[in-house]
Amino acid sequence: MRGLTKVFDETVTAVNDVSFGIEKGSFFTLLGPSGSGKSTILRMIGGLEKPTKGRVFIGGREVTELPPYERDTSMVFQSLALFPHLNVAGNIGFGLRMRKWPKDQITKRVNEALDLVELPHRKYGGRKITQLSGGERQRVALARALVTEPRVLLLDEPFGALDLKLRKQMQVETKKLQRRLGLTFIFVTHDQEEALTMSNAIGVINKGSVEQMGDSKEIYEHPATKFVAGFIGEANILRGVVQTVADAEAIVTYETKEKGLLQFRVPGDSLVAGQSVVVSVRPEKIRIGADADNCANHFEGTVVDEVYIGLASRLTIQLDQGGRIVANVQITNIGDSVPIGTRVRVGWDPANSTVVRA
């Protein structure tokens, strides 16, 4: 994608000068909130939307002006768009019939596609779409997209309508399928966990622009912007000013609304005194109690909220110096709890904080 821009009705810029590349054979995810432009980018790759400006290349060949059926791509839509009047085999073979394939070759390819998505063709080929569960329909949509052997498979939030357990199952199976086929998958979602689970690489999209590109660990552990830090998982976001820089560490002063100044240490690479920064600290990196005493940044505070989230309790702690910190405390014994009003010690190491662009 080179300089892709899409303007609707001459006033609404859905995608703004986006350029990036996707490695062949990777599972790449476009991640962003609703209305960020990620589906519009996907549709421009597939030829369903024409860019206002910019160019699209697939395998080194420019396809910007080509119709969808000449791009060597297939798409799985959120609505699945299966034909209710056709049976399973008829749906999967539809694209091949449009390409005037011989009937015997269509039958062979459809059977192979069904077996590929673990729907045995002898059992499922003749079924009506209305006789299938949500997960089975999802597999049929995948098989229909794969039967033409595209170079790139485009998936536009295909698991959005599935329940949580089935969605997680389909995530695992789709990733496994991608590895087995070695195709390039471009996946669109607003679900951060889904993106982190499935992707080799992620592009975080916000307001029509790319905020950050990277693998799952890089995006989560080293967010490049305040938006990425807040959108991917959860984060404590602290705005402050660099006071001093020495020995690869910087001291940042955070001016709280309640009581004045909160000072803490962060990695000092590329920072200078007087610089305004935004610091991100993940809740799971916060230490509580005796564990906090060994941290370079340690404070005292009061628990003002506790939420049970299964493997952990999410504590909101009002610090004595002002400001609030959210910490995830792992639950090791049934009945463990840190009640509201409990006085606690709070800490984190500088290495577990990330300085992002202010």
156 with 265, same domain: the answer is no
Number of domains within the chain? 2
| Helix extents (H) in 86-159 | 88-92, 94-98, 103-116, 121-124, 134-146
* Residues 70/63, Cβ–Cβ less than 8 Å: yes
Rounded CA separation 226/278 (Å): 7
Pick the last residue of a domain from 230, 261, 293.
230
Q: Are residues 8 and 152 in the same domain?
A: yes
Identify whether the C-beta of residue 338 lies closer than 8 Å to the C-beta of residue 306.
yes
Task: Give pLDDT, residue 165.
Answer: 86
Closest of 94, 97, 202 to residue 145, by C-alpha: 94
Joined together, the tokens standing for residue 123 give: 């059992």
Helices (H), 117-214: 121-124, 134-146, 164-181, 192-198
pLDDT value of position 218: 93
- Read off the pLDDT of each residue in 71-80 and give the average, rounded to a whole number: 89
Q: Is the pLDDT assigned to residue 358 strictly greater than 70?
A: no
Q: Per-residue confidence at 62, pLDDT binned at 50, 70, 90?
A: very high
**Confidence (pLDDT) at 258:** 61
Residue 334: pLDDT over 90: no
Instruction: Please give the Cα distance from 179 to 240 (Å, whole number).
Output: 44
Domain boundary among 230, 247, 276: 230
The torsion defined by the Cα of 70, 74, 75 and 80, in degrees rounded to 10, comes to 120
| 305 and 188, same domain (yes or no) | no
* pLDDT at residue 260 in the model: 65
CATH, residue 73: 3.40.50.300
Same domain, 214 and 106: yes
Average pLDDT over residues 169-183: 90
Same-domain status, 150 and 245: no
Q: Is there a single domain that holds both residue 155 and residue 87? A: yes
C-beta of residue 344 within 8 angstroms of C-beta of residue 301: yes
Residue 55, SS3 per DSSP: strand
Q: Residue 315 above 70 pLDDT?
A: yes
Write out the two tokens for 70: 């000449």
Instruction: Report pLDDT for 54.
Output: 97
Report the pLDDT value the prediction gives residue 216, as an integer from 0 to 100.
92
Q: Which residue in this structure is represented by tokens 């810029």?
A: 13
Q: What is the DSSP letter of 87?
A: B
User: How buried is 127 (Cβ within 10 angstroms: 0-12 exposed, 13-18 middle, 19+ buried)?
Assistant: middle
Q: Quick one: pLDDT at residue 328?
A: 93
- pLDDT digits 0-9 by tens, 22-48: 999 999 999 999 999 999 999 999 999
Q: Chain-wide mean pLDDT for the chain?
A: 91
Domain holding 166, by residue range, is 2-230
Q: Give me the DSSP letters along 217-268.
A: HHHHHS-SBHHHHHHSS--EEEEEEEEEEETTEEEEEEEETTTEEEEEEEE-
Task: Residue 32: name the closest of 215, 235, 212, 167 by CA.
Answer: 212
Phi/psi of residue 356, each to 5°? -115, 165
SS3 state at 46: helix
Give the strand pairing for 249-256 and 297-308: unpaired
Which DSSP helix (H) or strand (E) runs through 8?
strand 2-8
Nearest to 229 by CA among 278, 263, 287: 278
| pTM, rounded to two decimals | 0.87
Is the per-residue pLDDT at 269 higher than 90? no
What is the share, in percent, of the chain residues with pLDDT greater than 70? Answer: 98
State the CATH number of the domain containing residue 289.
2.40.50.140
Distance CA 18, CA 4 (A): 5
Contact 281, 351 (CB under 8 A): no
Same domain, 159 and 196: yes
What number is the average pLDDT over the span 176-189? Answer: 93
- Whether residue 200 sits in one domain with residue 247: no
Which of 121, 120, 119, 150 lies closest to 135 in space, CA to CA? 119
pLDDT in tens, 189-245: 999 989 998 999 999 999 999 999 999 999 999 999 999 998 998 899 998 999 999
Do 256 and 140 fall into the same domain? no
CA 255 to chain CA mean position, Å: 32
Distance CA 161, CA 183 (A): 25
Task: Return the pLDDT at 43.
Answer: 96
Task: Kindly state the average pLDDT of the residues 115-137.
Answer: 91
Residues 249 and 214 in one domain: no
pLDDT reported for residue 338: 85
Q: Tell me which of 77-81, 96-100, 276-280, 348-352 is least confident.
A: 77-81
Identify the sign of the CA torsion 169, 92, 71, 183.
Answer: positive
Q: Select the more confidently predicted residue: 331 or 296.
A: 296
Q: What pLDDT was estimated at residue 160?
A: 79
153: enclosing H helix or E strand: strand 152-156
Residue 259's pLDDT band (cuts 50, 70, 90): low
Last residue of a domain, one of 215, 230, 245: 230
Phi/psi of residue 149, each to 5°? 50, 60
Same domain, 153 and 254: no
Please indicate, yes or no, whether residues 95 and 180 belong to a single structural domain of this protein. yes
pLDDT at 333: 74
